[in-house]
Amino acid sequence: MSSAEPRPFRSSKPAAPLTGQAGVAGDKSISHRALMFGALAIGTTEITGLLEGEDVLRTAAAMRALGAEVEKLSAGQWRVAGRGVGGLTEPADVLDMGNSGTAARLLLGLLSGHPLFAVMTGDASLRRRPMKRVTDPLSATGAQFWTREGGRLPLAVRGAQDPLPLDYRLPVASAQVKSACLLAGLCAPGTTRVVEPEPTRDHTENMLRHFGATVAVEDTAEGRVIRLDGQPELKAAPISVPGDPSSASFPLVAALLVPGSRIRLTQIGLNPLRTGLFTTLREMGAALKIENARIEGGEPVGDIIGEYTALKAVDVPPGRAPSMIDEYPILAVAAAFAQGTTRMRGLAELRVKESDRLAATAALLEANGAKVSIEGDDLLVHGNGAPPAGGGFVTTHMDHRIAMSALVMGLASAAPVTVDDASFIDTSFPGFAALMNRLAGQDAIRPA
């Protein structure tokens, strides 16, 4: 788990371009769901490629605490013996979700549909993040919640004795809120209906079908409507977790920015609701290529090849935000090297991530000599086609994506970049520095 002591790291220009082939950490979103659905299925689910970062290990621990048998067989190979829908049992102790907002919010959906009492907490960063956006709609199932002011952790939940199906329209696009509602709906009779204003990552819908649930999705004038038939018998099914496209974004952007670089990232998840960054980078002129495209376990995967490119500025529409909400910090770094002003529109959701990620991204760039401004919920990065000065000290606010984005910037900026703490990188991308250094052929990222 995370060290209590901060671990400052520094990155600097490698002596040679980034080259070679690598896989990245397993997809975090799919890993969380694989453990949760395995716990709700009848039979034993075999999982390969599970991300073993701290966030996912917290989910594994929570599923054990709720009565499922969760066993690690070898690196990335796990087995889950499920309890069946409605079969989770009351935990004996507090559920500590660490730094993971995804795990916390999805788990609230699970708990809502079970007649049990549970208390949930997290680390200092997670305890600042709002849960009211989930607890409000989940209350309509009959579940009760007691939270700190502002709907924050720690919180207590008493799940519904006889859960009711939900009919809920999301006020803003959020895969976490949508998924929490669908997970609660598993235990309720009848049909749970969720409407999202913009399509968000659909791993929950894909995995529900993979385990045997009936899920219908329809695009309407009202938005995207998802209907789930409640109280299905989920049956254990094998899951192969692809490489996380969010994790792939860091070595990929590094290759685009370090002159002469060319890398191949293998077996990366290519779900179209997760690949907004790749679309945006291509619009910026990036040399990106997909090979070996295929479907595995209901999810599209393939290899991504990226090589150094002189990038140009673009205008990123707000409708793309749900498909790249976690990638804006690393996109902002790429934009700082591009020619012209890149405007990223409609980023209100970034204000309630692990940190105020909008402000933290702007501060990251400013600390390293890049010109940046915020207009409402838009982030503007003003590049001149040359590497920024670098040399900055970046406060990460316990946010792994801010830390990784800053360290990528240091690989291509004029002077090294230092972050105050890299310990939280392990929550989503264990082995990040080692992978980057292997591609660089040297320790370009190292303790400060």
Catalytic residue flag (residue 303) = no
pLDDT band for position 37 (cuts 50, 70, 90)? very high
333 or 348, higher pLDDT: 333
For 99-127, what is each residue's pLDDT tens digit?
999 999 999 999 999 999 999 999 998 99
Return the axis-axis angle of helices 245-257 and 276-283, rounded to nearest 10°.
Answer: 20
d(CA 273, CA 143): 30
For 388-420, what is each residue's pLDDT tens digit?
999 999 999 989 999 999 999 999 999 999 999
Strand partners, 339: 312, 384
Cis? peptide before 17, omega within 30° of 0: no
Q: How do beta strands 239-240 and 262-269 pair?
A: unpaired
Could you tell me the pTM of the whole model?
0.85
Burial 11-28 (b: 16+ CB within 10 A, else e): bbbbeebbbeebbbbbbb
| Complete domains list, the chain, with CATH | 9-26+242-447 (3.65.10.10), 28-228 (3.65.10.10)
Of the residues 326, 399, 421, 426, only one is catalytic, namely 326
Query: What is the pLDDT, as a whole number, of residue 203?
Result: 94
